[in-house]
Structure 1
Amino acid sequence: MDTIIFDVDDTLYDQAQSFHKTVRKLFEEPFTDKEIDFLYKASRKYSEILFDKSENGEISQFEWQTGRIIAACKDFNIPIDTEKAAIFHETYVAEQNNITLFPEVEELLNVLYKEGKQLGILTNGEEKHQKMKIKQLCLSRWFSAEKTFISGTIGHAKPKREVFDYIEEKMNLDSSETVYIGDNFEKDIIGAKQAGWQAIWMNHRKKDLPENAFYKPDKEVHSAKELLNLFVK
Structure 2
Amino acid sequence: MQTLIFDLDDTLLDFKGGEVADIKELFQKHAQLSGAALEEALTTYQAVNSRLWYQYEMKEIDRHTIFQDRFPKTLEKLALSQQVNATQMEEDYAYLRDHNYRMLDGAKELLKSLHGRYRILAGTNGQEETQLRRLKETGLMPYFDQVFTSEGLAVAKPDALFFEKIFASRPDVDKEKTIMIGDGLYSDMLGGQNAGIETIWLNLTKKELPDSIHPNRIAYSLAELAQML
Give 1:127 deviation, angstroms: 2.6
Does the 8 Å CA contact 2:57/2:157 hold for their aligned counterparts? no
- Identical aligned residues as a percent: 27
Inter-partner Cα distance in structure 1 for 2:108 and 2:201: 18
Question: SS at 2:123's partner residue?
Answer: strand
Q: Do the aligned partners of residues 82 and 8 (structure 1) sit closer, same or farther apart at CA in structure 2, a change above 3 Å counting?
A: farther
Unaligned runs of 5+ in 1: none
Inter-partner Cα distance in structure 1 for 2:220 and 2:109: 17
Inter-partner Cα distance in structure 1 for 2:138 and 2:82: 32
Give 1:138 deviation, angstroms: 2.8
Give 1:199 deviation, angstroms: 0.8
Inter-partner Cα distance in structure 2 for 1:118 and 1:221: 20
Is residue 82 of structure 2 the alignment partner of residue 84 of structure 1? no
Inter-partner Cα distance in structure 1 for 2:152 and 2:140: 18
Question: SS at 1:100's partner residue?
Answer: coil
**Deviation string, structure 1 residues 162-221 (Cα, Å, up to 9, x no partner):** 1111112222322221111111111110111221211111222433222x31x3111222
Q: Which residue of 2 aligns with 1:29?
A: 34
Q: Which residue of 2 aligns with 1:45?
A: 50
Q: Which residue of 2 aligns with 1:156?
A: 155
Q: Which residue of 1 aligns with 2:108?
A: 106
Q: Do the aligned partners of residues 16 and 113 (structure 1) sit closer, same or farther apart at CA in structure 2, a change above 3 Å counting?
A: same
Give 1:81 deviation, angstroms: 6.0
One-letter code aligned to 2:174? D
Inter-partner Cα distance in structure 1 for 2:216 and 2:147: 23
Is residue 92 of structure 2 the alignment partner of residue 94 of structure 1? no
Does the 8 Å CA contact 2:159/2:194 hold for their aligned counterparts? no
Does the 8 Å CA contact 1:20/1:36 hold for their aligned counterparts? no
Give 1:224 deviation, angstroms: 2.9
Give 1:107 deviation, angstroms: 0.8
Normalised by the length of structure 1, the TM-score is 0.80
Does the 8 Å CA contact 2:203/2:218 hold for their aligned counterparts? yes
**Deviation string, structure 1 residues 90-116 (Cα, Å, up to 9, x no partner):** 33332331322223111110011042x
Question: SS at 2:35's partner residue?
Answer: coil
Q: Which residue of 2 aligns with 1:16?
A: 16
Q: Which residue of 2 aligns with 1:228?
A: 226
Give 1:44 deviation, angstroms: 4.0
Q: Do the aligned partners of residues 17 and 60 (structure 1) sit closer, same or farther apart at CA in structure 2, a change above 3 Å counting?
A: closer
Moved more, 179-188 or 121-130: 121-130
Unaligned runs of 5+ in 2: 28-32
Inter-partner Cα distance in structure 1 for 2:204 and 2:25: 25
Does the 8 Å CA contact 1:158/1:188 hold for their aligned counterparts? yes
Q: Which residue of 1 aligns with 2:30?
A: none
One-letter code aligned to 1:112? L
Moved more, 23-32 or 180-189: 23-32
**Deviation string, structure 1 residues 64-110 (Cα, Å, up to 9, x no partner):** 114224435555x3634696333333333323313222231111100
Q: Which residue of 1 aligns with 2:215?
A: 217
Inter-partner Cα distance in structure 2 for 1:66 and 1:207: 29
Question: SS at 2:85's partner residue?
Answer: helix
